[in-house]
């Protein structure tokens, strides 16, 4: 999760200089200002908001799959079920919350007035994707909270794979919305930028 997720956030950080001042391609001419609204492509604040929310989710995911943390939670079973459960929730709850935070941020950005339709569509799709990720984490929590030993064991077997697949799924939504949420001039700069190597 860490490698792919970090490369995604680095790609987004490269875009943080885009937008704002370079939005001139979307601005109407003086004679058109009264009748033609400005197209709301991404500006720097939009990119920064996504970066902040995503960085929080990346940190929470990295913590959740850290081998030392997993070992500590496995060892917590010697202190009884409540301690074991609390340890896993300390890893899963921040991840679920941060994924829901990314979902909320994307949904908020999609509702900005005069957002290009294709951009709003991709933002809504990305928000649903991150909501789905949060639901998967919630499923792991349900397994931890279950009184059935079989559910607990199943969660233990799928825990690492589930979280890593979530991390691997970060890139696709961002790649899709980048293509339609930046102004043509910003998109040209983005495409000309060197690909981050991690």
Query: Mind listing the pLDDT tens digit for each residue in 5-18?
Result: 434 443 444 444 45
Report the share of the chain in percent with pLDDT over 70: 79
Q: Which two tokens stand for residue 155?
A: 């969660």
Q: What is the pTM of this model?
A: 0.80
Name 106's Cβ contacts closer than 8 Å, sequence gap at least 6: 50, 123, 124, 126, 127, 130
pLDDT digits 0-9 by tens, 175-189: 999 999 999 888 888
Written as six digits, the tokens of 23 are 């939005």
Q: Where are the domains of the chain?
A: 2-27+39-192
SS3 category, 135: helix
pLDDT digits (tens, 9 = 90+) for 90-102: 999 999 999 999 9
User: Please, how many CA atoms are within 13 Å of residue 151, restricted to the half-sphere of its CB?
Assistant: 10
């Amino acid at each position: 999760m860490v490698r792919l997720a970090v490369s995604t956030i680095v790609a987004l950080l490269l875009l943080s200089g885009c937008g704002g001042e370079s939005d001139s391609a979307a601005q109407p001419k003086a004679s058109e200002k009264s009748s033609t609204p400005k197209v709301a492509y991404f500006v720097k604040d939009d990119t920064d908001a996504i970066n902040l929310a995503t960085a929080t989710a990346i940190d929470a995911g990295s913590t959740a799959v850290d081998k030392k943390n997993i070992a500590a939670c496995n060892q917590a079973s010697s202190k009884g079920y409540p301690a074991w459960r609390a340890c896993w929730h300390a890893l899963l709850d921040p991840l679920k919350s941060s994924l829901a935070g990314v979902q909320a941020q994307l949904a908020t950005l999609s509702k900005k007035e005069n957002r290009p339709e294709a951009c709003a569509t991709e933002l809504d799709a990305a928000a649903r994707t991150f909501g789905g990720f949060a639901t998967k984490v919630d499923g792991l929590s349900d397994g931890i909270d279950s009184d059935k030993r079989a559910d607990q064991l199943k969660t233990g077997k799928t825990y690492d794979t589930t979280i890593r697949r979530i991390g691997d799924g970060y890139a696709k939504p961002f790649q899709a919305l980048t293509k339609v949420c930046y102004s043509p001039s910003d998109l040209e700069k983005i495409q000309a930028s060197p690909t981050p190597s991690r």
